[in-house]
Chains A and B, each alone.
Chain A
Amino acid sequence: MTTNEAVILLVEDNPDDEMLTIRGLKQNRIHNEIIIAHDGVEALDYLFGTGQFTGRDLSVVPQVVLLDLKLPKINGLEVLKRVREDERTRLLPVVILTSSNEERDRIQGYDLGANSYVRKPVDFGEFSEAVRQLGLYWLILNQAAPAGRSK
Chain B
Amino acid sequence: MTLRTKLTLVCSIALLIVGGVSLLSFRWTQRADEDQHWVTHTRMVLGKLDAVVINVLSAETEQRAYLLTREASHLIAYKEALNSTQREVDEVRELTADNPGQQQTLKQLEPLISKKISELREQVTAHTVKSIQPPTPAPYANIEGEATQHIRSLITAMKATEESLLTERLAAAQASSRRMKVVIVLGNMLAVVFFAVAALVIYEEMGKRRKVEDFLRQSEERFRLMAERVKEYAIFMLGPGGHVASWNEGAQRIKGYHADEIIGQHFSRFYPEEDVMRGKPDYELKVAAEQGQVEDEGWRIRKDGTRFWANVVITALRDERGILRGFAKVSRDMTERRRAEDEIKRQNALLAAANKELDAFSYSVAHDLRAPLRAIDGFSQALLQDYQEHIPEDGRMYLERIRAGATRMAQLIEDLLTLAQISRHEIAHSEVDLSRIAEEVAAQLPTSEEGRAVQFSIAPGLFVSGDRRLLRIALENLIGNAYKFTSKQPAAQIEFGRQNGGGESVFFIRDNGPGFDMQYADKLFGVFQRLHRDSEFPGTGVGLATVQRIVHRHGGRIWADAAVGKGATFYFVL
Contact = CB atoms under 8 A, between A and B. Distances in A.
Interface of A: 14, 16-17, 19-20, 23, 69-70, 98-102, 120-125, 127
Nearest to B409: A122
Given A122-B406, A122-B407, A122-B410, A20 B374 contact: yes
Interface string B334-377: 00000000000000000000000000001100111011111101
A122 B366 contact: no
A99 B378 contact: no
Contacts of B407: 122-123
A17 B381 contact: no
Given A16-B375, A17-B375, A20-B375, A99 B370 contact: yes
Contact of B366 (A19, A102, A123): A102
Contact of B377 (A69, A99, A101, A123): A123
Given A122-B406, A122-B407, A124-B381, A70 B374 contact: no
Q: Which of the four size classes fits the interface of chain B?
A: 20 to 34
A124 B366 contact: no
Nearest to B373: A122
A100 B368 CA distance: 9
B363 A16 contact: no
A127 B378 contact: yes
8 contacts: A16-B374, A16-B375, A20-B375, A100-B366, A100-B367, A102-B362, A102-B366, A123-B377
Nearest to B372: A16
A124 B374 contact: yes
Which DSSP category, helix, strand, loop or mixed, fits chain A's interface?
Answer: loop
Given A17-B371, A120-B374, 9 more contacts: A20-B374, A20-B378, A99-B366, A99-B367, A100-B363, A122-B370, A123-B407, A124-B378, A127-B378
Contact of A70 (B367, B375, B379): B367
A76 to B, nearest CB: 11
B193 interface: no
Contact of A16 (B371, B381, B406): B371
B382 interface: yes
Interface string B368-406: 101111110111111000000000000000000001001
B363 A102 contact: yes
Contacts of B378: 16, 19-20, 23, 124, 127
A121 B375 CA distance: 11
A7 B379 CA distance: 26
A20 to B, nearest CB: 4
Interface string B263-282: 00000000000000000000
Contacts of B382: 23, 124
Q: Which of B378, B381, B407 has the most CB of A within 10 A?
A: B378
Contacts of B368: 70, 99
B155 to A, nearest CB: 154
A125 B363 contact: no
Interface of B: 362-363, 366-368, 370-375, 377-382, 403, 406-407, 410
Q: Which of A23, A122, A124, A125 has the most CB of B within 10 A?
A: A122
A98 B406 contact: no
B377 to A, nearest CB: 5
A19 B374 CA distance: 11
Nearest to A98: B367
B476 to A, nearest CB: 16
B26 to A, nearest CB: 115
Top 7 A-B pairs ranked by shortest CB distance? A16-B375, A122-B410, A124-B378, A20-B378, A124-B381, A99-B370, A99-B367
Contacts of A69: 367
Nearest to B375: A16
Nearest to B410: A122
A127 B363 contact: no
Contacts of A100: 363, 366-367
Contacts of A127: 374, 378
Contacts of B377: 122-124
Contacts of A17: 371, 374-375
A36 B380 CA distance: 24
A49 to B, nearest CB: 30
Nearest to A120: B374
Contacts of A101: 366
A115 B371 CA distance: 23
Contact of A14 (B362, B371, B379, B403): B371
A127 B380 CA distance: 14
A99 B371 contact: yes
A116 to B, nearest CB: 19
A125 to B, nearest CB: 7
B458 to A, nearest CB: 28
A147 to B, nearest CB: 34
B170 to A, nearest CB: 134
A150 to B, nearest CB: 32
B366 A125 contact: no
B355 to A, nearest CB: 14
A14 B367 CA distance: 11
A121 B406 CA distance: 11
A130 to B, nearest CB: 12
Q: Which of B363, B374, B377, B381 has the most CB of A within 10 A?
A: B374
A32 B371 CA distance: 25
A101 B482 CA distance: 27
Nearest to B381: A124
B200 to A, nearest CB: 90
B408 to A, nearest CB: 10
A5 B379 CA distance: 30
Contacts of A16: 371-372, 374-375, 378-379
Contacts of A125: 381
A69 to B, nearest CB: 8
Contacts of B379: 16, 20
A121 B368 CA distance: 13
Contacts of A23: 378, 382
A11 B463 CA distance: 47
Nearest to B371: A14
A101 B421 CA distance: 11
Nearest to B362: A102
Contacts of A121: 374
Contacts of B366: 99-102
Nearest to B382: A23
A83 B390 CA distance: 46
Q: Which of B371, B379, B380 has the most CB of A within 10 A?
A: B371
A127 B406 CA distance: 14
